[in-house]
Amino acid sequence: GGLIVVQEIFGVNSHVRAVADGFAADGYVALAPALFDRAERGVDLGYTADGMAKGRGIMSALDWDDTVADVKAAVAELSGAGKVGLVGYCWGGTVTWATACRATPGMEALRSRPVSTTPTTLPWTGTATCTSRTCGTTPTGESTTRPA
């Protein structure tokens, strides 16, 4: 199967690449899309206050619909590998949760731990229904486990 590793606020840095490599070593076709590329290409930030500040600035320059569209494109890209799942932490967890709520065809499961954005700050909160099988928590901590 395929697994999308959704980046943190620090971009596709060495840690995100290592996570994707670890899943690949476990037999998954793993992909870590560079979601910041719409605002700035090649973002690879360290886990510092400056890195966090720069990542927040880049994140705020992005459009949620474009970001979700980019993740959906990654899901479509891996669809030939079998079932596709998403994993994301921090901003990536929020992106993963948002992608599931936008009814992404071909996505089978997710694991998210969002901490950077709450549902009330997403522009379409309350208008989307999670239809994918999801496993994890919403940004407010509720379980999102649902049948397929």
Higher pLDDT: 44 or 114? It is 44
In whole angstroms, give the CA distance from residue 32 to residue 41.
14
Give residue-wise pLDDT tens across range 110-136. 555 554 554 445 554 444 444 444 444
Asked if the model's pLDDT at residue 138 lies above 50, the reply is no
Residue 34 pLDDT level (bands cut at 50, 70, 90)? very high
Tokens of 139: 């940004």
CB 132 within 8 A of CB 109: yes
Give the SS3 label for residue 135: strand
**Confidence at residue 145, expressed as pLDDT on a 0 to 100 scale:** 39
- State how far the Cα of 94 lies from the Cα of 112, in Å rounded to an integer: 7
Provide the pLDDT confidence category of residue 61 given band limits of 50, 70 and 90: very high
pLDDT(53) > 70: yes
Residue 141 has pLDDT above 60, yes or no: no
* C-alpha to C-alpha distances, 81 to 31, 39, 75, nearest whole angstrom: 11, 29, 10
- pLDDT tens track for 74-94: 989 998 999 888 888 888 888
Amino acid at 9: I
Predicted TM-score (pTM) of the model is: 0.77
98 φ, ψ to 5°?
-65, -40
